[in-house]
Amino acid sequence: MTTIDWDSAADSFDEEPDHGLLDPVVRHAWARRLESWLPGARSEVLDLGCGTGSLALLAAGQGHRVTAVDRSPRMAERARAKLAGTGAEVLLGDAARPPVGGQRFDVVMVRHVVWLLPDPAAALRHWFDLLRPGGRLILIEGVWGGVGLPAGRLTGLLSEFTERVHHEPLSGDPDLWGGPVDDERYALVARAEPPRRHTEVVDVHLILRRGPDVLLARRAGTGYADALLHCPSGHVEDGEDVREAMIREAAEEIGVELGPDELRVALVMQHRGPGGSPRTGWFFEAEYDPARPPCNREPDKCSELEWFPLDALPDDSVAYCRAGLDGYRAGEHFLIHWHEDGDPVAYQPHGARRAVPLPAGGTGTGGVHHIELWVPDLATAERGWGWLLGELGHVPYQHWEHGRSWRRGDSYVVAEQSPDLTGQVHDRCRPGLNHLAFHVRDRATLDALVAEAPAHGWRQLFPDRYPHAGGEEHVAAYLEDAAGYEVELVAGIAQARPAPQEPDPHADVRERGRD
C-alpha cells in the first residue's frame, strides 16, 4: 500500500477545495466514495482527464496502480509532481483516445469530461474496449448552471454497452463539494460484461372461441409461412405487457376491441423455428361476441379469416400455432416446441412431434386434495360420475372393491360404497354437502352436457329457468343423480357467482317437487 504524505502534497493541489481536495473533509469524502467504487484488490486504474491528479492520488493512496492522462501539458506536469513517489504514470493525450496502446485496465475513471466530448458514444465504446472483462467504468458528471450531462441521458448512452449501471447521486453530500449544492451531480459505475444476456422475442396469440370453433387467419404476402393458417398474433412492443399487446393485435388484425377482463391466459410456450432463434409465445383465450364480429383488417398480410372446429383443425397451418392449439385442447399450460434445423415451418400430420409439455407446480397448502362421496350403488355411481367427470377432463385414478376415483391435476373425486354407509339417498337439504360445482368452458359445451346427461343417469333441475336458474348473469346447469347428489356446471372461466339472496327455506323443496 502506498503511503501519501498529504502535508507535502498540499502545495500541489488546486486552490478550489472541490477540485483540488485540499480540504481534509472534502478529501476524506472523495476517498470514501472511491473506496466503494474501486475494487478491493490492487487494480490497474486509468484516470482520464485527470487534471492535476487529485483523484489519481486518492486511488494510488488506496493501493492501486494508476495511469493518468490529460491533454493539457500544464495539468499533466502538476499531476506528475503530485503523484511523484506513488508509482503512477502520467501521460499527455486526449481522454477520448488515450495513448495507452494495447494495455487493458480493471478500472477506467473519468471525471467531468464526457459532457465536453463531441462524440460521447464513440468515447464510451473505446473506453469499454480498454477494460478487461468484468472491469468498471466510473463516470462522475453533472449539470451546472444549465450545462452538463443529465444522468438519464448518460445512462441511455451506456445501455448500448452494458446492462449493469449503478447510479449514485452526489448532490446531497456537501462534504464532496466543500458546501451544499443544488444542481445535479452524480456518479455512474458501469460494468464491462461478457456478451449480452440471452434475449427472446415475445409474441402473443389469440384463441378466439365461438363455441367449439376457433378463428384462424391465412397468412399472405409476408414472406414467412404464407398460405398457412395461424391464430391472430403479433409481437410485444417496447413498453407493453403481454395483455396490452394482445389487445392491440386483436384490434389491428381482426378489428375486435377486447377488454382486459375478456382475456384469459391459455398457454405459454417457448418455441424455436427451424434454423431460427428461440421466442416465447403467450396464447390468450377469448369468447366470440356476435356484436363484434371479426373482420380482416390487414388484407396485405392475410388472405382470409375462417372458423374451424378445435377438435378437427386443418393440416395446412403453421407448426408453431398448431402445437399451441393442440396443447391448449389437451389442457396443457406450458410447452416447449423446439424445431430441429431442417424441419418444415408447416405442420406435418405424420411428422415428429416437437412439443414437450412441462408440468406446473404443485397445489401447495390450502388446495383441494380430494372430495369423497359415499354412494349407495357403486356401479350406478361409476356410470354417472365416470361419464360426467370424464367429460370435464378427469381421468380414472384409483380402483378398489368398494370405490373408484377420477383425477384432474392434483385433486381427485372419490365415489365409495362403504360398508359403513347408513342411508340409501343423499339429501342435499340436510346439513352437509349441498352440491359440487365445476367449470365448463362455454355455453355450447354446457348445452351438449345437458343434452347427454339423462342418458347417463342425471336429471336436470330447474329446466324452465335454464341457463339462468342461478341468476341472470350466471350461466349454469344443475343436475342430480339417482342418489340425490347435485352438480352445478358453470359456463365461462372465472365467472363470478351472483351475491346470495335471503334464502327461502322451502324454495329448494318446492323446486325438487316441481321437477
- Tell which CATH architecture fits domain 363-424: Roll (3.10)
State the amino acid at position 79 in one-letter form: A
Residue 426 has which C-alpha cell? 343423499
Distance of CA 300 to the CA centre of its chain: 31
Question: What whole-number distance in Å separates Cα of residue 261 and Cα of residue 263?
Answer: 6
Cβ–Cβ < 8 Å for 429, 510: no
Question: What is the second-level CATH architecture of the domain 6-191?
Answer: 3-Layer(aba) Sandwich (3.40)
All 3 cell numbers of residue 260?
Answer: 382486459
In the chain, residues under CATH classification 3.10.180.10 are: 363-424, 426-515
Angle of helix 54-61 relative to helix 24-37, nearest 10 degrees? Answer: 60
Contacts of 247 (CB under 8 A, 6+ apart): 257, 258, 259, 260, 263
Q: Per residue of the chain (515 residues), give pLDDT as tens.
A: 444 443 443 333 333 333 557 789 999 999 999 999 999 999 999 999 999 999 999 999 999 999 999 999 999 999 999 999 999 999 999 999 999 999 999 999 999 999 999 999 999 999 999 999 989 999 999 998 889 999 999 999 998 888 789 999 999 999 999 999 999 999 999 998 755 677 899 999 999 999 889 999 999 988 888 999 999 999 999 999 999 999 999 999 999 999 999 999 999 999 998 888 899 999 999 999 999 999 999 999 999 999 999 888 999 999 999 999 999 888 789 999 999 888 899 999 888 888 998 877 665 678 789 999 999 999 999 999 999 998 887 888 899 999 999 987 778 999 999 999 888 888 889 898 999 999 987 888 899 999 999 999 999 999 999 999 998 889 999 999 999 999 999 987 544 444 444 444 444 433 443 34
Residues of the chain with CATH 3.40.50.150: 6-191
Q: Which of 351, 403, 345 is nearest to 219 (CA)?
A: 345
Q: Which residues pair with 491 in a beta bridge?
A: 440
Q: Are the C-beta atoms of residues 94 and 33 closer than 8 Å to each other? A: no
Q: How many CB atoms lie within 10 A of CB 349?
A: 6
**CA pair distance 353, 336, nearest whole angstrom:** 11
Q: Could you give phi then psi for residue 286, rounded to 5 degrees?
A: -145, 155
CATH 3.10.180.10 fits 426-515, yes or no: yes
pTM for the structure as a whole: 0.49
Location of each CATH 3.90.79.10 domain in the chain:
201-357
Enclosing H/E stretch for 408: strand 403-408
CATH of domain 201-357: 3.90.79.10
Q: Which grid cell is 385?
A: 360420475
Q: How far apart are CA 221 and CA 233, in angstroms?
A: 16
Which regions of 25-164 does DSSP assign to beta strands (E)? 44-48, 65-70, 89-92, 105-111, 131-144, 147-148
**Could you tell me the sign of the dihedral formed by the alpha carbons of 247, 248, 253, 256, in that order?**
positive
